[in-house]
Amino acid sequence: MAPTTSTATGTLAEPTLFARLIDDAAVFPPAQVALGPAVAAHRRHRGSGYAALVGPLLVPAAAARELVTLVETAPARPALAVPTPVAPLAVGVIARPGTDPQVVTEALAVLGATAAIDVVGVEVGWTPSWRGLDVGGLPLSLEVPRGEALVGAVADIAAVASDSVPVQAKFRTGATPQWPWPDAGELAGFIRAAVDHDLGFKLTGGLHHAVRGEHPGDSGAPDPQHGVLNVVVATRLALNGADAAELVPVLEERDPDELVPYVVRMSAADAAVVRAFFTAYGCCDVTDPVGELAGLGLVEVGA
């Protein structure tokens, strides 16, 4: 975990602000860790001093049978005087936009057949027919399109979302071969749209660091990447009424000393309202943001 240095206060943030914020996307690009090592690493994260910050392991729907085989054939633990039960592996099932819905439903059936796995959410691409996907009442994240279709997709999701229908929007903050990097203006527009429609959201792709900057990408060359703290502060300001144009400089801010004091001033109530909207994000190496948040004095990671 590489720390980010700062002359900011070093005061711990309200713990609930970062609780279960970082979903483990190790098997996805750019890390693309094989499923077996990813499961082993995720169990280490869950037993670490920073476990409170880590959400579920994200797994492709197409890898459901491989995952079941892995967890059901794991080596037995050494005999103990008092056996320690192994908690089910919490996973989120991921299908990129364009995936056949049948792949998702089959994956849920396979994973649901073993007590060793606890499926805690499903993530698929938004389409006008998304309501036809039966996920058995699990929390559902729908990756919205960009451009002119974005606001309409957010509005469509918000029209259905409720306590009894746990669905939220998902926005990709990183580049793919088909998806150029969305700049601060585009991300600000998404955050503003989600808040305007009273809709929770998740982010994915490229959000690996605490603060906005240029960081090594897939090729090793520096790529622009958004920062977690920038998103947290922008979300709070959007809830306070800031428009998209006012959110842009916050998302572009590269100085942690401009962001950290705002974060540490957030109360438990502030944290609750921010996390009701910015619910989680996927990261291929959870130790990167954890280490940087610790280096800024915002979280304690323990031994």
Q: Distance from CA of residue 134 to its chain's centroid?
A: 22
Which residue segments constitute the domains of the chain, with CATH numbers given?
15-72+88-295 (3.20.20)
Nearest by Cα to 153 from 131, 130, 126, 171: 126
Q: How many CB atoms lie within 10 A of CB 30?
A: 15
The three-state DSSP-derived secondary structure of 17-72 is HCCCCEEECCCCCCCCCCHHHHHHHHHHHHCCCCHHHEEEEEEEHHHHHHHHHHHH
Residues 129, 107: Cα–Cα separation, whole Å = 20
Whole-Å CA distances, 266 to 17, 107, 198: 9, 40, 20
Which range among 20-29, 69-78, 226-235 shows the weakest confidence by mean pLDDT?
A: 69-78
Residues 215, 221: Cα–Cα separation, whole Å = 8
125-173 pLDDT tens trace: 999 999 999 999 999 999 999 999 999 999 999 999 998 999 999 999 9
185-234 pLDDT tens trace: 999 999 999 999 999 999 998 899 999 999 876 666 788 999 999 999 99
